[in-house]
Structure 1
Amino acid sequence: MTYRKDQIAAFESYVQKIMDAYEAPGLAVALAEHGKVTYQQNFGTRDQAAGTAVDGQTIFGLASVTKSFTALAIMQLAEQGLLSLNDPVTRYLPEFKLAQGQPADAITIHHLITHTAGFPPLPALDYCIRANTTPDEDESAERETSEYPSVNTMPELLDYIATGDYQMLGQAGEFFSYSNDCYGLLGEIIERVSGQPYTEYVQQHILQPLGMQRSMFTMQELQQFDNVTELYYRNGQDELIHSPNWQVAPPFTACGWLKSCADDLIKYAQMYANGGEYAGQRLLSEQGVKQMQQVTLEFNQGRKYGYGLIVKQDYAGVTLVEHGGSLKGVSSNMGFAPEKGIAAIVLCNLTGVPVAKIWLALINLALGLPIEQHYVDYSPCGWTADMRESVMGEYSSGEGAEFQIEQDEAGELTVKAPVGTFKLQPIGPNRAIWRYKLAENEMRFLFDETGKAWAIHAGGRVIRRVPGRPSPATDKRSAK
């Protein structure tokens, strides 16, 4: 498949526009159709100071793209009859308990893999990263004065889940709320069922069959490779910071700690586009790949979550299946369009770059659509004064996300987010968006029986209103 020169020029101009807006140092993309790489390009540098260019072998972090590997491993074990997605978690993790005596028996592997177990955003991953990662200079003082529980091993994670100060969002299957803790637990289930360490299982049953020779999990493995990107992020003053310190979080390996390169990751994406097979190696049955795409509850932008994959149905007549990731020095996206045999990947070495837009632009390139076409077109609408009043307040999560929704002097809603204060534009009876640079950030409001918002759904998470600012009049909740 060849693409018109003007299409490629439009795509590369769009990539450069995004990189310029976010000051992204380096980025790699690859696109394949029907088992053949049809376009691959690299932009910028893996090391700004040295001026070293990115290439297809440059190793980047994948962050939460790792979740799709974990889901694939679970599906492989299910196809071997070693577990069932409907099995309760306690069958494999008998010590799995919830805090404050909340019932855990109804939570199944299906609930973990679809982020529908009912967990609110928890701080356990942040505690673990802080304890195991060498701090950067601007983090050192904060680390020295902070106190937090030890969540550095799987037994400690299970203990935190059993004793932490949190309330579940609802019954298992009732709410979608993105949970790194769920995928940490899935990694432990894989270990106990397979009899192998999680990292060894993925190496033997996924990476090696696909020939992904520059993909690995641990820092010890990473140090054996050259052509590894440096890491970049923006601090609280919006300054671009270089970090030599990869984040480490041992019990959360299965949720976000795989590292890879464009040449490797496009093979993995093609395996899905080919129905579970690549280069003569079958990793999962066609039916198993289809099962991974069966959707549950809404993620955002009209997309729903399957098994370690996010699905947008009927985009220009095709299904889009993907997963993204974000950690310090990592913005990533991988996915495919099964009906067309299209696979695409994007890797970047700066946190917070909207690489899902670049990934979608690759899909648009393959489909012959306008390069900048979006998942969904937002149409502004008006809210009544009562509706505006019902959502105003402060919302906060255990992961540290904080949003303050207020009304300005002109009667317009604003949202104070971690990166600034922005206009909040209603786009439906329970939805609004705010824009930062080139990204649209969607908020969905969850209302109680009095019509007051008790939580927002943002970034895939259910984030509760802070009590008393104001709080819902009742705890009987229903999502509108």
Structure 2
Amino acid sequence: MKTHEWAPSYEAYVQKLIDEFQVPGAIIAVAKDGELFYEKTFGHRDREEQTPVNLDTVFGIGSITKSFTCLAIMLLQEEGKLSVNDPVVTYLPEFRTPDEAHTKATTIHHFMTHTLGLPPLPSLIPAMQRSLEADPTAAELLKHFETYGNQPIDTFEELMAYIGELKFELLGPPGTEFSYSNDAFGLLGTIVERVSGQTYESYVQEHILQPLGMGRSVFHVEELGEDDNIAMLYTPKVMEGIRKVLRAPVAWDSPSMRAAGFLKASARDMLRYAELYRTGGNSHGATIISGESVAQMVSPHAKIDPVRSYGYGLGVLPLTEQHTLIQHTGGIKGVTAQMLIVPEAGITAILLTNVDDAPITDLTLGLLNSLLGRPLDTQYATFADCEVPLARLEQSQGTYKSGEGDEVNIRFDEADGQLVLVMENTELPLRPIGEDAFLFTRRGIDTHVRFVRNPEGEIKRFAMGSRQLPKVEA
């Protein structure tokens, strides 16, 4: 593998972030036109044992699993067993929302694009509850969610019953509002099972992993037998004001949401998988899906913010005038991961780490900029400032909170005449780029946020990242 002139500066940039965030182990691997082009490992798969990371080390990939779930749905569509435009209740008659007409109008497409109209719900914690109870590092998390009940959700049927009993306000008619939904993807796994007649995990194994030669990709590391080339899990905790990264070997799992984020894989396997989206369905001699289906998956079906859109289990955004970025991030305890594809440049890449809350956005943007010959700090896009009336800024103040536990406070700083986002003791000024659209900058990277109003003009929600957080108090 040849050396690259951009590598020393990029690797110094990565090492600084790895040190700052105390990331125990990481791998960054890039293929060009299907051949390994760049590979660099950092730290260890097991910090205490000082064991190295390599291309075959198995890491969690978190929500990158969602693209596998959508691929499974597309394979079933190609077999003529379903259509993405079918109503969800055709396959999930137990599924309910607070509005019956809304429920009946919701299609598989809405599930796959996070546009089914559900706000972030508190279901993921009870869906993982049995594994959380076995994990000493999860005690605070379980306590935080006690108000939502203490009944584990072990099956798809229990998940649908739980959602059906929750009281919440829908975001809008199906297809109109994007908000990331683990529930939708957990239930896509149910559809795969009911339509195929086999478990979700076995369908993915038989129809995706095996044909692609992904022999080091599993839902449970126990399937790898005595193999020890598996990344140990770590999680950050703030103790007496100091961030410490702790060894945390108990993996979280959820039988009812496995289709939303619980696959594990090696970097080598993930490059084989990403190749499907670069080529339109082919990878290393295997063809498992048509180019038409891949095109449907990577189409920008739903707008997230001025830059980002969402296809089927994949994010899509224009990177330059010549290049489109197809990507997905994954994060859960002991996991921060990113898969990316730039088809026009022949590039596929995977970034895997064994700690949650690693600076994956920084690492990814730095890699993309390096590969495209741009300065490391080049943003995805730039926006001009916008003048917003004082009264409109003041309307935005309040607390916004999701069922998943995210909470932000927006206050107006009279001295500076600007809104400030307060989150976990961090204060970030908001720069207006539209009447209700703003940017905040952290570690030199801009993030879009926006306030969502109802037809009467009242602010109801705050969209940050990929989720809409309802306003809970002014």
TM-score, normalised relative to structure 2: 0.93
In 1, distance between residues paired with 2:118 and 2:139? 30
- In structure 1, the residue matched to 2:408 is 403
In 2, distance between residues paired with 1:196 and 1:332? 28
**Which of 457, 461, 475 is the aligned partner of 2:463?**
457
**Any conservation in 1 of the 2:132–2:142 contact (CA below 8 Å)?**
no
- The reply on whether 1:10 has 2:16 as its aligned counterpart is no
| Residue 451 (structure 1) shift | 3.8
In 2, distance between residues paired with 1:89 and 1:366? 41
Matches within 5 A, 1:12-411: 12-99=11-98, 101=100, 103-140=102-139, 143=142, 146=146, 147-221=149-223, 224-237=226-239, 238-300=243-305, 302-313=307-318, 315-410=320-415, 411=417
| Structure 2 residue identity aligned to 1:43 | F
- The reply on whether 1:415 has 2:421 as its aligned counterpart is yes
Aligned residues: 467
In 1, distance between residues paired with 2:63 and 2:305? 16
| Structure 2 residue identity aligned to 1:112 | F
SS at match of 2:300: coil
- In structure 1, the residue matched to 2:453 is 447
SS at match of 2:105: coil
In 2, distance between residues paired with 1:399 and 1:250? 18
Q: Residues 285-344 of structure 1: CA distance to partner in whole angstroms, max 9, x if unpaired? A: 111111111112222460100011100125241111011111011111112112232111
In structure 2, the gaps of 5 or more residues are none
| Residue 377 (structure 1) shift | 2.7
| Structure 2 residue identity aligned to 1:227 | N
- The reply on whether 1:429 has 2:435 as its aligned counterpart is yes
**Any conservation in 2 of the 1:301–1:376 contact (CA below 8 Å)?**
no
| Residue 30 (structure 1) shift | 0.9
| Structure 2 residue identity aligned to 1:90 | V
| Structure 2 residue identity aligned to 1:465 | K
| Structure 2 residue identity aligned to 1:11 | Y
Change (3 A) 1:103 1:141: closer
| Structure 2 residue identity aligned to 1:307 | Y
Q: Residues 120-144 of structure 1: CA distance to partner in whole angstroms, max 9, x if unpaired? A: 1001011222333344435437647
**Any conservation in 1 of the 2:60–2:265 contact (CA below 8 Å)?**
yes
Change (3 A) 1:180 1:294: same
**Any conservation in 2 of the 1:184–1:251 contact (CA below 8 Å)?**
yes
Q: Residues 254-284 of structure 1: CA distance to partner in whole angstroms, max 9, x if unpaired? A: 0000001111111111121121101111121
**Any conservation in 1 of the 2:128–2:152 contact (CA below 8 Å)?**
no
**Any conservation in 1 of the 2:110–2:174 contact (CA below 8 Å)?**
yes
**Consecutive aligned runs of 4 or more in structure 1 exceeding 6 Å deviation:** none
Identity of aligned residues (%): 39
| Residue 98 (structure 1) shift | 1.9
Change (3 A) 1:35 1:14: same
**Any conservation in 2 of the 1:345–1:359 contact (CA below 8 Å)?**
no
| Structure 2 residue identity aligned to 1:216 | V
| Structure 2 residue identity aligned to 1:213 | G
In 2, distance between residues paired with 1:77 and 1:156? 25
| Structure 2 residue identity aligned to 1:356 | T
Q: In terms of mean alpha carbon deviation, does 404-413 or 372-381 score higher?
A: 372-381
**Any conservation in 1 of the 2:102–2:173 contact (CA below 8 Å)?**
no
In 2, distance between residues paired with 1:195 and 1:122? 29
TM-score, normalised relative to structure 1: 0.91
Q: In terms of mean alpha carbon deviation, does 214-223 or 432-441 score higher?
A: 432-441
In 1, distance between residues paired with 2:33 and 2:235? 36
In 2, distance between residues paired with 1:392 and 1:114? 30
| Residue 450 (structure 1) shift | 4.8
**Any conservation in 1 of the 2:462–2:470 contact (CA below 8 Å)?**
yes
SS at match of 1:214: coil
In 2, distance between residues paired with 1:141 and 1:288? 43
| Structure 1 residue identity aligned to 2:93 | P
In structure 1, the gaps of 5 or more residues are 471-480
**Any conservation in 2 of the 1:401–1:418 contact (CA below 8 Å)?**
no
**Any conservation in 2 of the 1:212–1:264 contact (CA below 8 Å)?**
yes
In 1, distance between residues paired with 2:376 and 2:293? 32
Q: In terms of mean alpha carbon deviation, does 100-109 or 456-465 score higher?
A: 100-109
SS at match of 2:230: coil
In 2, distance between residues paired with 1:340 and 1:141? 45
SS at match of 1:250: coil
In 2, distance between residues paired with 1:44 and 1:438? 25
Change (3 A) 1:3 1:428: farther
| Structure 1 residue identity aligned to 2:186 | G
**Any conservation in 2 of the 1:32–1:38 contact (CA below 8 Å)?**
yes
Q: Residues 165-185 of structure 1: CA distance to partner in whole angstroms, max 9, x if unpaired? A: 222211101100100000001
**Any conservation in 2 of the 1:134–1:245 contact (CA below 8 Å)?**
no
**Any conservation in 2 of the 1:365–1:371 contact (CA below 8 Å)?**
yes
| Structure 1 residue identity aligned to 2:368 | I
In 2, distance between residues paired with 1:428 and 1:142? 36
